[in-house]
Amino acid sequence: MAVSIRKDLADAHEYTWRALASAGTWWSSRQRRELSETAVASVWGGPAASPHLRADARTEAGRAAHEAVARMASGAPEVSREWYAATTKELGSLEYVELVGLVATAAAATSFRNSLGLPACELPDATDDEPTRVPPPMLADATLNWVPVAAPADAEAAVVQALTAVPASSADLWRLGDAQYIPDEEMVDLWWTRGTLSRVEIELIATRVSFSRKCHY
């Protein structure tokens, strides 16, 4: 039986796949497409599934970045604060934040298709576009996050401010979240629904997924 997907959700996923192969703030188009391939492969088959992690692989993004993406996308082994500190020391804290955004969107879109029995989407071809390197907003160290965030720190929920040090990545994630979860402007309405699940049922599913993924938040 054919699966019917809401147009706004299909549009959000189409935008997400294009964004994953487009230049970001700190990673080029070619690097992001490579890293997205690793994220998608790791969701489906674990870190070993990525061709970019083979012993003889030569990558645009570098092995350390692919290893970080594979670990975050697969959840194995778990992400620890010690691992985060070592990874950001090698890759850079803002580069790491962008990778988190890339993994979050790639994993959400991939898991959606996986759950419905749909094949993985083909990523668009990369371009020669380089990262924009747009300067970050004023940053602050947060007590609720490991990563630096846009100041003022801890003024919002940790998950909301998590990617704010790289605004483009934060916008991409919330664009997908608006369609796949709950629109940001509707968060305060505890009775909001799209007509298929109640708000309570939506939050129950979100909580169960977060728990199963050992989400820090």
Domain boundaries, the chain: 7-181
Q: Are 40 and 110 in contact (CB under 8 A)?
A: yes
The rounded distance, in Å, linking the Cα atoms of 99 and 62 is 13
Q: What is the pLDDT of residues 117-161, one digit of tens each?
A: 888 788 999 999 999 999 999 999 999 999 999 999 999 889 899
Is the Cα torsion angle 169, 197, 8, 123 positive or negative in sign?
positive
pLDDT for 1: 62
Least confident residue range of 13-17, 151-155, 184-188: 184-188
Higher pLDDT, 185 or 27: 27
- Give the number of other CB atoms < 10 A from CB of residue 151: 15
- Give the number of other CB atoms < 10 A from CB of residue 210: 13
pTM of the model: 0.94
pLDDT for 4: 87
CA 72 to chain centre: 9
Q: What is the pLDDT of residues 46-57, one digit of tens each?
A: 878 899 999 899
